Amino acid sequence: MENSFFPALKATISQLPIDQIPADRLPAIESMANYILSKIKSNTEVRLNFICTHNSRRSQFSQIWGQTAADFHGIPAVCYSGGVEVTAFNERAVAAIRRDGFKIVQKGESNPVYFVFHGEDSEPIVTFSKVYDDPINAQKSFAAVMTCDHADQNCPFIPGAEARIPLRFEDPKAFDGTELEEKMYTERSHQIGAELFLIFQKVKERL
């Protein structure tokens, strides 16, 4: 599957800091890999809904990198994202994904819909800010992957979720408008990409 990826994106993937993932991140990574593996072995669809408060940065990165990692490793999974309120896919996060080698088509101006491609023949990953139970997302039999501490603490119950996995990341928003903005958005994108690629790599190795 990886042969169909854009060359610039393949270069980014090859440089993801998988070997730098701290040990304290591994339990959540193992939990998610085990969930995915159990779904595959029971011949049921893998559905992952990445959730943070505004569905603007971390959950969007996670949906895109999760779907990309699944497709790269040939793992049948469908990745979604959502929040507890609607804002927009932050333009700084969109720019980071574009720098990583994805091709992006934007439709609309207010809370735009983005069609994200990882290869010439790939199906688009459809992203926009939405609540976690938006009709475009799975309504039952999915894992709620909590990507920020605020959403994890303030959403104790996610209707329809059969599993809840905390995979929290720091918000690059803290660096908006500073000289570190681009660097930190790229760093967060690559951290999320590395962890999700490790998850799907573990799944592939255990099938």
pLDDT confidence of 39, banded at 50, 70, 90?
Answer: very high
Could you state, in order of their start, the residue ranges of all structural domains in the chain? 2-12+21-206
Pairing of strands 103-107, 77-82: unpaired
Is the pLDDT assigned to residue 123 strictly greater than 90?
yes
Task: Determine the pLDDT at residue 1.
Answer: 64
Under CATH, domain 2-12+21-206 is a member of which superfamily?
Answer: Response regulator (3.40.50.2300)
* Residue 112 neighbours by CB distance under 10 Å: 16
Averaged pLDDT of the chain: 96
Is 45:162 a contact under the CB 8 Å cutoff? Answer: no
Pairing of strands 161-166, 125-127: unpaired
Is 183:169 a contact under the CB 8 Å cutoff? Answer: no
| Residue 123: both structure tokens together | 């199906």
Task: Determine the pLDDT at residue 18.
Answer: 98
- Taking only the tens place, the pLDDT of each residue in 159-177 is 999 999 999 999 999 999 9
Pairing of strands 113-117, 103-107: antiparallel
The pTM of this model reads: 0.97
- H helices of the chain, in order, are 7-14, 26-41, 58-72, 91-99, 149-154, 181-206
What is the residue whose two structure tokens read 């720098």?
Answer: 99
Q: Distance between CA 159 and CA 142 in Å, rounded?
A: 10
| Residue 103: both structure tokens together | 């091709």
Task: Determine the pLDDT at residue 153.
Answer: 77
The CA distances from residue 150 to 51, 125, 147, in Å, are 10, 25, 9
